[in-house]
């Protein structure tokens, strides 16, 4: 029995999450394509704009030729692509890909989401994202600044993208905080 026939018996659809970082997963996607099994490609980052300083760059960064080839292949093999950024969706759509915007959500299997946090003297208004989403945050920048002006005990916390943090550089340091990119296990912090 060929691998393609094996997949046809096992799956009606395949959902692949950032597959270009895993050569074996890319082989599976190729076999699924041969078996005419639709592939839903879920990308949690705009890998085209991922900086070399990002902790996941060695595995997913497109500055590495092997990663770029795998990423391009994944886009071409996908029946549908989902991304967590409206602007990223628009970019891929203009390149001719079938793409949908699907915002990120909470992952309940990480028990740190349930951890009781110590009391703070501020209300933290936060955004956590990845490189390539600065345009989207720029659209709401004025509204965020207005909320922060109206509530002096509110603090802005930006995680993951230094360019987004720079959008709010007029705020005093005491009213804003930057958290560098981290692995997914550390998101609850």
pLDDT at 77: 96
pLDDT band, residue 166 (cuts 50/70/90): very high
Convert the pLDDT of each residue in 30-54 to its tens digit.
Answer: 999 988 999 999 998 889 988 887 7
The mean per-residue pLDDT over the stretch 153-165 comes to 91
176 SS3 class: strand
Output 7 or 179, whichever has higher pLDDT: 179
Sequence-distant (≥ 6) Cβ neighbours of residue 56 within 8 angstroms: 21, 45, 50, 181, 183
pLDDT band, residue 2 (cuts 50/70/90): low
Q: How far is CA 37 from the centre of its chain?
A: 25
pLDDT at 189: 67
pLDDT at 1: 41
Report the greatest alpha carbon distance in the chain. Answer: 67
177 SS3 class: strand
Contact 80, 100 (CB under 8 A): yes
pLDDT at 159: 87
Convert the pLDDT of each residue in 42-99 to its tens digit.
Answer: 998 889 988 887 778 899 999 999 999 999 999 999 999 999 888 899 999 999 999 9
DSSP string, 124-153: EEEEE--TT-HHHHHHHHHHHHHHHHH-TT
Output 112 or 168, whichever has higher pLDDT: 168
């Amino acid at each position: 029995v060929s691998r393609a026939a094996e997949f046809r018996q096992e799956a009606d659809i395949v959902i692949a999450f950032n597959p270009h970082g895993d050569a074996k997963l890319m082989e599976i996607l190729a076999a699924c394509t041969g078996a005419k099994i639709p592939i839903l490609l879920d990308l949690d980052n705009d890998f085209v704009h991922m900086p070399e300083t990002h902790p996941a760059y060695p595995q997913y960064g497109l500055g590495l030729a092997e990663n770029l080839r795998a990423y391009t292949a994944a886009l071409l093999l996908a029946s549908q692509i989902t991304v967590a950024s409206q602007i990223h969706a628009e970019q891929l759509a203009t390149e001719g890909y079938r793409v949908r915007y699907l915002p990120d959500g909470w992952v309940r299997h990480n028990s740190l989401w349930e951890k009781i946090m110590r009391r703070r003297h501020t209300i933290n208004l936060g955004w956590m994202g990845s490189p390539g989403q600065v345009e989207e945050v720029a659209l709401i920048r004025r509204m965020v600044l207005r909320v922060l002006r109206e509530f002096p005990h509110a603090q802005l916390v930006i995680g993951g993208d230094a360019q987004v943090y720079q959008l709010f550089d007029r705020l005093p340091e005491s009213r804003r905080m930057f958290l560098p990119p981290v692995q997914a296990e550390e998101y609850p912090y």
